[in-house]
Amino acid sequence: MHNYCMKNNGAPAHFRLTAKSRSLSLKAIWGGTEDAAYETFKQLRWENGEPVCPKCGVNVVYEIKTRRRFQCKACFHHFSVTSGTIFASRKLSYRDLLAAICILVNAAKGLSAVQLSQDLSVQYKTAWVLAHKLREAMASEVADLQLTGTVEMDGVHFKGKERKANQAIHRKKRPDGRTIHTDRDRVVIAIRERNGRTRTFVRKTEKEGVQIAKEVVSHDAIIFTDEARHWNPLYLTFDHRMVNHEKMYVDHGKHTRSC
């Protein structure tokens, strides 16, 4: 479930193939200094990098350069560039934190905590907590987002794995070899504005996406899906259009390739 831009012929091209996706790279982070990483955090936290007191909102502060901290001139509150963020009480360097953000966000197929711990040379538990903090921060940005315009929906199934003893029993029950569904089966439903923001949800069945769409998508939106029958109720609320994936995946601008 990734971002796409549009080629000249109307077919989707992956966002990661564009220059805009290369705004943060490990090469730039590791090639810079800790001071450069600190300045990057300041620019990301505050407008023009000018510190603002998180307690009273005053932007007139003293800078304690030896400790990389600030003191508000109005309320005398001490704070740092990470105060009140997911990185508060951090122990990793600013460069390591930037690298963690880059590695996790740029991972095309997700990233395990084991891999992150190896890349940053930190303990597994440290990498696990950091990864969860970053994922929660990304999710919070779109928690109340309503999608508008042209919207695409699709789902991907993740199935649980049975123990070998149970597999042998079920093979006798199902000689045709069909997949055995378990209670751990889950579906990740992606709803995405074309060339815009994305919201994802984990549910037991794909058809639950119909109710989700009613809650998070503007009723004036155009929704594209595949031809699965469980999407049919979308016609009652939206301008719903389908793409027959048995024939083609892109039909004159109609597609669900952004999801």
Looking at residue 139, its pLDDT comes to 85
pLDDT score recorded for residue 48:
87
pLDDT of residue 9: 47
pLDDT at 180: 56
Predicted local distance difference test score (pLDDT) of residue 170: 58
pLDDT for the residue 11 = 47
- Each domain of the chain, given as residue ranges in start order, spans 19-33+90-141, 150-243
**Residue 8: per-residue pLDDT:** 47
Q: Measured in Å, how far apart are the chain's first and last C-alpha atoms? A: 5
- Residue-level pLDDT, tens digit, the chain, 259 residues: 444 444 544 545 566 677 777 777 888 898 899 999 999 999 989 988 899 999 999 999 999 988 999 999 999 999 999 999 999 988 999 999 999 999 998 887 889 999 999 999 999 999 999 999 999 998 888 888 899 999 999 998 887 665 666 555 555 555 555 555 566 688 999 999 987 888 999 998 899 999 999 999 999 999 999 888 999 999 999 999 988 776 666 665 666 666 5
pLDDT at 62: 94
**Cα separations in angstroms, 33 against 40, 64, 173:** 11, 20, 63
